[in-house]
């Protein structure tokens, strides 16, 4: 079956995590890089930032898109994203990261991105109508409270 979308983006809300791990930039970087390896994605580069008095942000750029985490050790919460256009569903890697962080409860939101039939349709419309249609970008909006 042909692919229907370019990628899968998992957005995870991690609650009741281990605050010491959430405040350790080296350990968090190591956990994300291991997850990238396990998910068979290719790491391009990464940034880790420790905030004062607490909190870590880590971003891993992968050839297939990105992995990001932002942590709030004081409330044992972390916001994790794993977005990949590779062949592997990142959900398994997200669960592994959650486990490493001692997560007690997690909400996963999964979005498929880059709807291929929609991309083709809009390319076709643009080819037919040229650039004459200078309307401002139309936006459909969906909202979710995680």
Active site residues per annotation: 65, 70, 85
| Whether 80 contacts 94, CB under 8 Å | yes
CA distance 63 to 56: 23
Q: CB nearer to a copy of itself: give 40 or 109.
A: 109
Tell me the backbone φ, ψ of residue 34, rounded to 5 degrees.
-65, -40
Tell me how far the alpha carbon of residue 27 is from its chain's centroid: 19
Figure out which of the listed residues 5, 24, 25, 88 binds a copy of itself, where binding follows CB under 8 A. Answer: 5
Query: Is position 43 an interface residue for a copy of itself (rule: CB under 8 A)?
Result: no
For a copy of itself, how many residues bind (rule: CB under 8 A)?
A: 67
Figure out which of the listed residues 6, 25, 29, 54 binds a copy of itself, where binding follows CB under 8 A. Answer: 6
The set of residues, in sequence order, having a beta carbon less than 8 Å from that of 71 and lying 6+ positions away, is 17, 22, 23, 28, 55, 56, 57, 77, 78, 79
H or E stretch covering 7: strand 5-15
Among 33, 34, 10, 3, which Cα is nearest to 91's?
A: 10
Query: Is position 16 an interface residue for a copy of itself (rule: CB under 8 A)?
Result: yes
Q: Count Cα neighbours of 95 within 13 Å in the Cβ-side half-sphere.
A: 5
Q: Contacts with a copy of itself in 23-42 (CB under 8 A)?
A: none
Q: Contacts with a copy of itself in 71-130 (CB under 8 A)?
A: 72, 75-77, 79, 81, 83, 85, 95, 98-99, 103-115, 118-120, 122-123, 125-126
In the complex, the residues that contact a copy of itself under the rule CB under 8 A are 5-7, 9, 11, 13-16, 44-47, 49, 51, 57, 59, 61, 63, 65-66, 68, 70, 72, 75-77, 79, 81, 83, 85, 95, 98-99, 103-115, 118-120, 122-123, 125-126, 133, 135-146
């Amino acid at each position: 079956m042909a692919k229907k979308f370019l990628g899968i983006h998992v957005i995870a809300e991690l609650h009741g995590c281990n605050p010491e791990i959430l405040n350790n930039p080296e350990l968090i970087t190591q956990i994300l890089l291991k997850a990238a390896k396990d998910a068979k994605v290719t790491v391009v580069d990464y940034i880790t930032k420790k905030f004062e008095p607490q909190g870590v942000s880590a971003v891993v750029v992968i050839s297939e898109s990105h992995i990001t985490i932002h942590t709030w050790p004081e409330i044992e919460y972390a916001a994790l994203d794993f977005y990949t256009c590779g062949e592997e569903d990142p959900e398994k890697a997200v669960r592994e990261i959650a486990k490493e962080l001692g997560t007690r409860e997690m909400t996963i939101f999964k979005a498929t991105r880059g709807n291929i039939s929609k991309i083709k349709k809009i390319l076709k419309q643009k080819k037919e109508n040229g650039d004459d249609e200078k309307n401002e970008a139309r936006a459909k909006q969906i909202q979710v409270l995680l």
